[in-house]
Amino acid sequence: MGKESFRTIQSLGRDELIDELMEHNALSSDLVVKGYGDDSTVLNHQKGYQLLSSESFMEGVDFDLTYVPLHHLGYKIATAAVSDIYAMNGSPELVLVNLSVPNKISVDMLKEIYRGIGAAGKDYEFQIGGGDLTASHQTLGISISCYGEVAQDKIIYRKGAHEGDAVCVTGDLGGAAAGLRILMREKRFWEEQDQQQAFQPDLTDYEYVVRRQLVPVARKDFIEKIADLNILPTSMIDLTQGLASELQHLAEASEMGVYFYQAALPISLDTRRVADEMKEDVDKYALYGGEDFELMFTLPEEQVEGLADEFSDFTVIGQVTDKEEGIRMQKAEGEVVVFDGSGQQL
């Protein structure tokens, strides 16, 4: 992008800017009476429970503009917000986007972020409802609040796991952490060069893990599948943080313990290959990595087979136990380790 095409935020009026950004809002529905352009977003919703979730991403902490394309950033924060709605077995309906924008960000850069949010809106079927824009001195900040809905008899909380239930996770774990390792390594290489060129690393060999980091996907497919099959997990949570701390959250809310198997953790070959290259323990990626946005859920043992017949992309990693037993992991060699309250291995 040449300098001549850098349209500053100030060059547009605020309202004109919002109009341009909202071009990426693909959907409309009867739910939304007034999406933006008034003091509040107005919804007309007469049934079930309403769900609200909220995510904040801050430049330099949650993302690095060196290697995060802006439309991916928009897609990813939307994924993070809707993932929390899916984790309650709900459907996202609408997001509000709050941006804190420094001068280095142009109108077209903001539009890239909205393009990503709009693409997520198509995939996850939500509208963009409004939000706020504020200036920032140095760093870009994004918050998304997501509004969703769920029938009262279909909601799934973190609490509700019963002793003996199978503990399951969708997809595979640790990929996002592996992708981040690769991107950080490539950035370090680039910083050691003279940086005359833009950051354009060849990531062909790492495509899977880099995608897991940059454009993670929330598990709408799983929520739709269990609705079709009329299967209702007893508890559910999304894996925003690593498995270890989310296990803690689920067990605590359910007042239960969990016994799980290191060897059962679903980890892709691509993720294993990165850990080998980095000379790191791949289980650490899965246990502490986070940002995979997979779902963890508990299900009575007798229902596992029925689900597996229709949906293959999940793994049983262990079972729910008595609370007194805490969170324990049986290592591949047979040794059992205990996780303490903070999700750290003892």
Residues within the annotated binding site for substrate? 62, 291
Residue 27 lies near a second copy (rule: CB under 8 A): no
Q: How many residues bind a second copy (CB under 8 A)?
A: 66
110 forms beta bridges with: none
Q: Which one of residues 96, 178, 232, 307 is an interface residue with a second copy (CB under 8 A)?
A: 96
| Residue of 52, 26, 216 whose CA lies nearest to 121 | 26
CB of 49 to a second copy, least distance (A): 5
Kindly list the distances between the CA atom of residue 306 and the CA atoms of 198, 220, 296, in Å, as whole numbers in the listed order: 51, 19, 17
Determine which residue in the list 20, 27, 62, 64 makes contact with a second copy, applying CB under 8 A: 62
Q: Which one among 79, 143, 298, 315 touches a second copy, defined by CB under 8 A? A: 143
Smallest distance from a second copy to CB 189, Å: 23
Q: Which of 6, 20, 27, 49 binds a second copy (CB under 8 A)?
A: 49
Backbone angles phi, psi at 147, to 5 degrees: -110, 130
Q: Which residues pair with 338 in a beta bridge?
A: 328
Measure the CA–CA gap between 308 and 25, rounded to whole angstroms: 36
- Between 87 and 217, whose beta carbon lies closer to a second copy? 87
Q: Determine, following the binding rule CB under 8 A, whether residue 280 of this chain makes contact with a second copy.
A: no
Q: Report the residue from 153, 309, 341, 346 that binds a second copy according to the rule CB under 8 A.
A: 341
H or E stretch at 237: strand 235-238
Tokens coding 104: 């280095």
Q: Is 100 in the site for a second copy (CB under 8 A)?
A: yes
Q: What length is written for the chain?
A: 346
Please report the DSSP string for 159-225 in residue order. Answer: ----TTPEEEEES-SSHHHHHHHHHHHHHHHHHHS---S------GGGHHHHHHHHS----HHHHHH
**C-alpha closest to that of 265 among 304, 317, 308:** 317
Task: Please report how close the Cβ of residue 112 comes to a second copy at its closest, in angstroms.
Answer: 20
- Nearest distance from C-beta of residue 276 to a second copy, angstroms: 30
Torsion angles phi and psi, residue 325, rounded to 5: -80, -10
- Residue 257 φ then ψ, to 5°: -110, 175
For a second copy, which stretch binds (CB under 8 A), given 47-55, 167-175, 256-264, 318-326?
47-55
310 near a second copy, judged by CB under 8 A: no
Is residue 43 close enough to count as binding a second copy by CB under 8 A? yes
Q: Which stretch binds a second copy (CB under 8 A): 108-116, 147-155, 177-185, 270-278?
A: 147-155
315 contacts a second copy (rule: CB under 8 A) = no
Binding-site ranges for a second copy (CB under 8 A): 13, 15, 33-34, 37-47, 49-58, 60-62, 83-85, 87-88, 90, 94, 96, 98-100, 129-139, 141, 143, 145-148, 152, 155, 157-158, 237-238, 249, 253, 341-342
